[in-house]
Amino acid sequence: MAYNRPAAPGELASVEAFGNSARFLYDEDAFADLASTQAWLREHERQDVADELDESARGELGRAREAIREHLAGTDSAGLNDYARRLLRPPQWQDGGVLIPVADGTPVERLIGRLIATLAVDGLAGKSGRLKVCHADDCRWLFYDRSPGNNSIWCSMDICGARHKMRTYRTRRKKIVK
């Protein structure tokens, strides 16, 4: 079964795609090895990063992905704060909007910096909280919540929501049978 939510709007789509480079529910990780990471980067128009990638940088991409995922899940922002301190410059205002410049660095550092700057600008604009992590521990897919109440917790009701409901039902049935 496939995820069926539309992509996040604007620049958040790149953060969402980066976070979803791993499909834990299906035991897939685009950053599992150097070749697959380079292929993912090229597919997502990051040729400059793919060309300069080595094992150390591949590991950094995986750590950044998990720091973003943990921040969005509300469990830990320390990793994201560390990246922000190292990779971002003070905000600037331009053309009625906020711009957070990325520090000079390696192509991987610039990519990670752009992703984190996108999250920061989204937060400064008062729009944060719509990009979420699925509450299923074995999934953790990123999705953009378009519900009017901003209260979705599953990447898909057909996948994780249904699995959660079935587990809850079976737990209740076991209690009744005993």
The per-residue pLDDT for range 91-125, each reduced to its tens digit, is: 999 898 889 999 999 999 999 999 999 999 998 88
Hey, how many other C-beta atoms are within 10 angstroms of the C-beta on 114?
A: 19
Mean pLDDT value of segment 141-151: 92
41 or 158: which leads in pLDDT: 41
Angle at 33 between CA 30 and CA 34, to 5 degrees: 105
8 A C-beta contact, residue 133 and residue 69: yes
pLDDT above 80 for 54 = yes
Q: Among 18-32, 38-52, 68-82, 146-160, whose mean pLDDT is lowest? A: 146-160
Superfamily of domain 12-177: Jann2411-like domain (1.10.3300.10)
Tell me what pLDDT residue 163 has: 61
**Cα–Cα distance between 96 and 83 in angstroms, integer?**
26
pTM of the predicted protein model:
0.87
pLDDT higher than 70, residue 178: no
Domain boundaries, the chain: 12-177
